[in-house]
Amino acid sequence: MHFRSLLPLIFIVAAAVFCSDLPVSARSESLRSSSFSVALETLQKHLNYDFQHIGLLRRAMTHSSYSEENNKALSVLGESIIEASASLRFMTKDVDISSKDLNNRIAELSKVETSCAVDGMRLGLQNVVRVSSNTNSSTSSVVCGAFRAIFGAIALDTGKSDDAGDVFFVVHGGAGSAFSM
């Protein structure tokens, strides 16, 4: 049969196409993704939190310039969690705090340059977060987005925003930074 005699040839062609096409890009892609995995492991140690669903941390460390599957919504959730758990802490300390003081203290905590970018840089997120080749991963907005997304990711991982808030306060307070109660 014709087809039978052609089979070996089909295999050879297929193998040639496969081999000529894949190696370089596949190798560099797998290198890149394995160093990303190592970075995620290290980050979990610094956070003192191990993800059940590592895909959530992976997404938290992915900027919108890199993929459609990115950290933008996680970052919104994370910011809300930080504000809610901070409000709870402030009011647990002082139930008579004025709304103005409470708002000021929350605003202080949410400031991009002085708070979340500093925390994010300290965690080294600028070296972890995946961005497109023409995006600077050290800018405050990229680092902050990634930092906040971590807490959105933890809340989704456990189903509890309190757990994420607890991790935040350890990370934020860890350097003896501005968070005074």
Enumerate binding residues for ligand NAG (CB under 6 A): 136, 138-139
By the 10 Å C-beta count (0-12 exposed, 13-18 middle, 19+ buried), 143 is classed as buried
Shortest Cβ distance from residue 105 to ligand NAG (Å)?
26
C-alpha closest to that of 60 among 48, 46, 45, 76: 76
Shortest Cβ distance from residue 151 to ligand NAG (Å)?
23
Shortest Cβ distance from residue 167 to ligand NAG (Å)?
26
Nearer of residues 132 and 136 to ligand NAG, judged by Cβ: 136
Nearer of residues 61 and 131 to ligand NAG, judged by Cβ: 131
Kindly give, in sequence order, each residue whose CB lies less than 8 Å from that of residue 164, ignoring residues fewer than 6 positions away.
Answer: 78, 81, 85, 151, 152, 154, 155, 158
Distance CA 147, CA 106 (A): 16
What are 13's two structure tokens?
Answer: 């062609």
Nearer of residues 110 and 135 to ligand NAG, judged by Cβ: 135
Nearer of residues 146 and 153 to ligand NAG, judged by Cβ: 146
Shortest Cβ distance from residue 127 to ligand NAG (Å)?
12
Kindly give, in sequence order, each residue whose CB lies less than 8 Å from that of residue 13, ignoring residues fewer than 6 positions away.
Answer: none
C-alpha closest to that of 55 among 66, 70, 45, 35: 70
Nearer of residues 110 and 139 to ligand NAG, judged by Cβ: 139
Which amino acid appears at position 78 of this protein? G
Residue number with the shortest CB distance to ligand NAG?
Answer: 136
Shortest Cβ distance from residue 136 to ligand NAG (Å)?
4
